[in-house]
Amino acid sequence: MEMFYPEAFQQALSMVLTPTLFYWLAIGIFLGVGVGAMPGMSAATGIALMLPLSFFLDTAPALGLLMGLYKGAVYGGSIAAITFATPGTPGAAATTYDGYELTKQGKGRKALEMALYASITGDTLSDILTIFLAPALAIIALTFGPAERFLVAVMAFVLIGALGGKHPIKGLISASMGIFLATIGSDPVSLSPRMTFGFWWLRDGIGLIPMLIGIFAMSKMIEEVGLIAVMKKGMEKTKGAVDRITSTGPGLTIKEYLSCWKEMLIGTSIGSFAGMLPGLGATVGAFLSYSVAKQISPNRDKIGYGALEGVAAAEAGNNATVGPTLIPLLAFGIPGSASAALIGGGLALQGATPSPRMFELFPHIVYALFMILLLGNVFNLVIGRLVSRFYARLGLLPKNILVPLIMMMAIIGTYASRSNRYDVAVMLIIGLLGYCMRIAEIPSAPMVISFLLAPLMETSIRRALMISRGDWAQAFSSPLSIGLIVATVVLGFVSIWFQRKQMIG
Amino acid sequence: MVIKKVSINNRILGLILILLFVFLLLYVYNSDWAFRRARDNVALGFFPAIGLGLSILFALFLLIDRHSREVPKLLENPDARMFYIPLFAIILSWLYLLFINWIGFIIGSILALTPAIFILGFDSIKKALISAALISLVIYAIFTLLGIMLPKGLLI
């Protein structure tokens, strides 16, 4: 594999520099900021709902729509956090501390603008890191044989399970369930049906769209239906909070923005690391950045009491995970987070299934994705600047309209992708499973990620065993394999220890 | 008579999961395809059993680890409505799909959305009807403009 393919780069340029891409990227960001601004919605829900639509678009516009949604939603979460002290997405929870304090002090507009600029700064710098790091790692990944690929997938499985939530065992149960669900359908070697429970429509396995929409959109809406019915939970936010944000107040000055450079740098570094490592993500990135900034920032005494520095660290921290979360996906074919799994799903629907040979087989798509990552930041800046104060009102949208609307979109989206009503049945069953997991506090992201990882694991191990003529010891005898086994065991223990320490702390 | 509500802790959850996974493992074991071998000599039931075996192993840990007596927040005082309302929502969603295939997308969606919006707490049926009609028309317009096929029925 070469480090750079000039022809593919030119092809990517012609794919990206089109009005259609600009149009869908703008729509993605416009919708994404809105999804992020609505408490209870997440980037994953928004991307899952738009996945069927992306199937009908060309590759670059489809990636523009999905990446725009992702970037927009991660930033949009800060709007509700600053306006109502209710984070729109879990990744924006750390923004609440200083953001809402600033709103109470009448500086909500400053906080919103700081959140936007810090998000764009963190996102852009981490995207540049992704563009340099992903191809280098992909070259390393290509030297791996099937046994090593299997072991890397096992390592990701352990990390995703162990770091997937506050209770590592539940994360591992979820990840194991994902492996089981991926075996429903046909055996990849003999193509004979297995685990179909006698249903002919399960012979192709569980489709990607029903799985993703069921887990990320339908299960959430079923939970909302349950909560509305049982707790009569409505929107308790007052219009006063929105008025404080939407009224004209002093905006952020360049001096104030530049004064937070250290916190943005902390957020970018920590967020990038959290994004790269499977199982972490925007929430961990934001909280780690915020707590580190609180300890080492020159203005640490002010952070927590309405300081722009706190908003800058948290927002740079969560948006800096967006690009790097694609590194394991593009280099190893391993989605490191729920959103990366959805982007991977979008790529698979376009016929470019993420794998360790992604750079070799589809360099033009990878380059187009890199360009979209950078372009998305410009669009996010402009659209975010225009709509953030208007979107602050989205938090007041009644859930009794929103919930049936999203359920309807989930049903139609699943149906429209293949005009197959059994896809809807699978989506509804998965939605119910996701709901049960939600109430049992079993994280669903590890299940989806391992569902996507399982085919890679199965085909790699079977290939490795064919090469070694069924000898397991010989299959994993290379020094690299032994190193990966040791690293997996060590990482598993370290991540469980890290979780325990965090819980005690 | 006062009926005491039972909270479901992680240990009970673990037991429920083990029962479910063991049932599925028995299904695999008793299937005629499970021991059939592919050309690489791997039995078809091997990987489903691996997924279920790992699930059982980790569910066993749920019985004994230090969080085993913790109760998930929504299961502290489980209400029967938490189980049958979602099930009801799933059945209605399936009926909605059949309904729009039979009667047509716009009319079917308005007829299904209006009571849903109203039951979920909208104060007036008239407002619910207007909201449902607007939502259905906007979605129809967007999907038609994008060239995405929506279910077609007897009416529009």
Q: Which amino acid is at A473?
A: A
Judged by a CB distance cut-off of 8 A, whether residue B58 touches chain A is: yes
| Selected residue of A23, A202, A228, A407 to mutate for chain B interface (largest B Cβ count, 10 A) | A407
What is the pLDDT, as a whole number, of residue A252?
83
User: What pLDDT was estimated at residue B1?
Assistant: 47
Q: Which two structure tokens, joined as six digits, stand for B107?
A: 């009319």
Phi/psi of residue A194, each to 5°?
A: -150, 150
Residue A499 pLDDT greater than 80, yes or no: no
Structure tokens at A281: 């993500």
**What is the sign, positive or negative, of the torsion defined by CA atoms of B114, B116, B122, B125?**
positive
Report which of A448, A496, B61 is spatially closest to residue A488, judged by C-alpha positions: A496
Amino acid at A328: P
Model confidence at A78: pLDDT above 70: yes
Predicted-complex ipTM score: 0.91
Nearest-by-Cβ selection for A187 from B17, B38, B58: B38
Given a cut of 70, whether residue A238 has pLDDT beyond it is no
Band (A14; pLDDT cuts 50, 70, 90): very high
- pLDDT-derived band of residue A116, with 50, 70 and 90 as boundaries? very high
**Cβ-count burial of B118 within 10 angstroms (0-12 exposed, 13-18 middle, 19+ buried)?**
buried
**Token duo for residue A74:** 């991660």
- Using a pLDDT cut of 70, give the percent of chain A over it: 92
Q: What is the mean pLDDT of residues A82-96?
A: 78
The 3-state DSSP class for residue B37 equals: strand
Task: Give SS3 for A185.
Answer: strand
- Helix or strand holding residue A186 (H, E): strand A185-186
Q: Which residues of A touch B147 (CB under 8 A)?
A: 56
Task: With CA atoms as reference, report the closest residue to A221 among A431, A16, A398.
Answer: A431
* pLDDT tens per residue, range A169-205: 898 999 999 999 999 999 988 888 999 988 888 988 9
Cα end-to-end span (Å), chain A = 46
Tell me which of A6-20, A398-412, A436-450, B35-49 is least confident.
A398-412
Could you give the CA distance from residue A194 to residue A199 in angstroms, rounded to a whole number? 10
Residue in chain B closest to A186 (alpha carbons) equals B44
Instruction: Kindly state the percentage of chain B with pLDDT values over 90.
Output: 28
Q: Test B120 with A173 for CB contact under 8 angstroms.
A: no
End-to-end C-alpha distance for chain B, whole angstroms: 54
| A233 touching chain B per CB within 8 A | no
pLDDT for A505 equals: 47
Answer whether A503 touches B (CB < 8 Å): no
For A421, the closest of B17, B67, B97 (CB atoms) is B97
Q: Report how far residue B83's alpha carbon sits from residue B70's, in angstroms, rounded to the nearest whole number.
A: 21
Chain segment A366-397, per-residue pLDDT in tens: 999 999 999 999 999 999 888 887 777 776 67
> What does pTM read for this prediction?
0.82
* Other C-beta atoms lying within 10 Å of the C-beta of residue A501: 9
For residue B109, the chain A residues in CB contact (below 8 A) are 408
The helix/strand/coil state of B72 is coil
A49 close contact with B: CB closer than 8 A: no
Shortest CA distance from B148: residue in chain A: A416
Chain A residues 442-471 within an 8 A CB cutoff of chain B: 454, 458, 462, 465-466, 470
Q: Calculate ∠ Cα A333-A349-A135, nearest 5°.
A: 30
* The pLDDT of residue B18 is above 90: yes
Quick one: pLDDT band at residue A448, thresholds 50, 70, 90?
confident
Nearest by CB to A400, which of B28, B31, B117?
B117
Dig out the tokens for A485 from the structure: 């086994």
How many CB atoms lie under 10 A from the CB of residue B66?
A: 9
Mutation pick from B58, B125, B134 vs chain A, by most beta carbons of A within 10 Å, is B58
- Mark yes or no for CB contact A56/B58 under 8 Å: no
**Burial class of residue A18 (count of CB atoms within 10 Å of its CB; 0-12, 13-18, 19+):** middle
Residues of B in Cβ contact (< 8 Å) with A173: 17, 55, 58-59, 62
Which residues sit opposite A186 in a β-bridge? A193
The verdict on a CB contact (< 8 Å) between B89 and A181 is: no
The predicted pLDDT at position B66 comes to 80
Model confidence pLDDT, tens digit, residues B46-96: 999 999 999 999 999 989 888 888 888 888 877 788 888 888 889 989 988
Q: How far apart, in whole angstroms, are the C-alpha atoms of residue A189 and residue A168?
A: 33
Does residue B156 have a pLDDT over 50?
yes
Under the banding of pLDDT at 50, 70 and 90, the label for residue B5 is low
pLDDT at A144: 87
